[in-house]
Amino acid sequence: MEQDISITIIDREGVEHTIDAPTDMNMNLMEVVRSYELAPEGTIGVCGGMAMCASCQCYVLSEHELPEMGMDEEAMLAEAFYVEDNSRLGCQIHISPELEGLKVQLAPES
Amino acid sequence: MIQTDILIIGAGPTGLFTVFEAGLLKLKCHLIDALAQPGGQCAEIYPKKPIYDIPAYPEILAGDLVKNLMKQIEPFQPGFTLGERAETIENQDDGSFIVTTNKGTKHQAPVVAIAGGLGSFEPRKPPITNIVDFEDKGVEYVIRDPELYRDKDVVIAGGGDSALDWSIFLADVANSVTLVHRRNEFRGALDSVEKVQELKNLGKIELITPAEVVDINGNGSVESVSIKRGADVFNRECDHFVPLFGLAPKLGPIADWGLEIEKNAIKVDNTLDYQTNIPGIYAIGDVNTYPGKLKLILCGFHEATLMCQSAYQRIFPDKRYVMKYTTVGGVEGFDGSKKEAPKAVVKAIN
């Protein structure tokens, strides 16, 4: 589909997956990971996408300019574990055409 | 021993609505929940957030949904065991089950309905390699008895309400309180943040930010923690280390009950009644899985309704019953209350 973008996701086992993600379905990165079953159900998106659990934390490896963090995301990451400077919550990253070529790695389960 | 007809594990929306559907069939329910109040995630995690896909409610706050469900089930007088986690299940010779909580409360019922959502809420443990070695030997994830900390040196980690509130409380109890947080900002209620600031100025709380506890040291019990701030790592002597990082759901002991588990959820027969591989144990709502499963509150309500019909047949195998509309049959509570549709006035035309 022409509205799809290509994203690379490194799963928790270190396996790299390059997948297509739709930009017209109001999806976020956490939902994309779940739709491709790149992390077991129940270990990602536990709060459903409300920036309240950090189970979808990922490290952004590419140079993309991502939308700024909201207060919820910032507060959650302040309480989360394994946080690095490039940590983001997948549920707060809306899939848009600007993210073509995005590369992220899923943070360990905690 | 608490005895009931349907023992419901999990007092979230699905568990609560089960009481209503069971009540229509004159079956009594008792609910167990690890949280201290009913409502599950809706009450604990997002009470102030709106839900838009409850049929006939264009918008309802999660907390209000719980309040309404509690009102709806009130006539059926459900029992509650709150703040306790269902730990073990034993099969009895008469086909019933005994479920025991982590505090030893025993419940017996011919039918068990697991409506456990994503599991019981457990404290989130920081990834410090040797932390398990010090659990209950100076490391506590939950403060149960503040007296334990009297005249002791306590290090608390976290940046939310519970870290702030306990720091404030223990400032008057402990010998010293040190609060470690990864950011300089705290996200607790404003007055808690201000109070901590005040206690810091008085020298009653020491704040170490932006920093993190990275190691625990001691011989058999906690003697100090290593704190990392920037490139520095230093030791802080203490008797207790209390990480307060909120709660996360874990399937927990239910996973060891011999139930078929798939994708961190309990497999059920969705073609019939949401029964698990163990007859008499059902799983409904977010805790179950079957082909096409959707974790939605409205699906949980549907599953609960079908499950109750099957539970009735299990409890009364020789009785015949057909579903009745509440508009026709009304709602007869166990408390003697009766709700019914008003009768139409009949008047002859002369």
For B199-235, the pLDDT digits (tens) are 999 999 999 999 999 999 999 999 999 999 999 999 9
pLDDT at B139 exceeding the cut of 70: yes
Asked if the Cβ–Cβ distance from A46 to B126 is below 8 Å, we say no
Lowest-confidence region among B84-93, B236-245, B334-343: B334-343
- Is-contact B309 B27, C-beta < 8 A? no
Supply the pLDDT for residue B70. Answer: 98
CA angle B204–B208–B211, rounded 5-degree value: 160
Average pLDDT for B300-329: 94
Would you call A35 an interface residue with chain B, using a CB distance cutoff of 8 Å?
A: no
> What is the band of A41 on the pLDDT scale with cuts at 50, 70, 90?
confident
pLDDT higher than 60, residue B190: yes
The pLDDT assigned to B323 comes to 87
Residues 6+ apart with CB under 8 A from A68: none
Query: Which chain B residue shows the shortest CA-CA distance from A49?
Result: B46
pLDDT tens track for B200-209 = 999 999 999 9
Contact (Cβ atoms closer than 8 angstroms) between residue B325 and residue B305: no
pLDDT confidence of residue B141? 94
pLDDT-derived band at A75, boundaries 50, 70, 90: confident
Percent of chain A with pLDDT over 70: 98
Burial class of B349 by CB neighbour count within 10 A (0 to 12, 13 to 18, 19+):
exposed
pLDDT for position A72: 87
Contacts of residue B172, defined as CB under 8 A and 6 or more positions apart, other chains included, come to: B204
State how far the Cα of B97 lies from the Cα of B321, in Å rounded to an integer: 24
Alpha helices, DSSP H, located in B158-276: 161-171, 190-201
Residue in A closest to B288 by C-alpha: A42
Task: Identify which of A42, A78, A82 has the shortest CB distance to residue B127.
Answer: A82
What average pLDDT is seen over chain B? 94
The arithmetic mean of pLDDT across residues A51-64, rounded, is: 95
**Could you tell me the domains of chain B?**
2-122+248-339 (3.50.50.60), 131-245 (3.50.50.60)
Name the residue type at position B97: F
CATH numbers and ranges of domains, chain A: 4-106 (3.10.20.30)
- Give the model's confidence band at A31: pLDDT under 50 very low, under 70 low, under 90 confident, else very high: very high
Residue B187 above 90 pLDDT?
A: no
State residue A71's pLDDT score: 87
Identify the residue among B183, B214, B244, B266 best suited for mutation to test binding to A, counting A beta carbons within 10 A and taking the highest: B183
Tokens of B61: 């706050």
Looking at chain A from residue 39 to 68, which residues have their Cβ under 8 Å from any Cβ of chain B?
40-43, 46-48, 50, 52-53, 55
As for the ipTM of the complex, it is: 0.83
Beta strands (DSSP E) in chain A are 4-10, 16-22, 57-60, 87-89, 103-106
Residue B284 scores a pLDDT above 60: yes
Cα separations (Å) of A35 from A40, A44, A50, B26, B184?
Answer: 11, 11, 18, 42, 37
Residue B229, token pair as written in the block: 């701030």
Q: How confident is the model at residue B250 (pLDDT cuts 50, 70, 90)?
A: confident
A1 has pLDDT over 70 = no
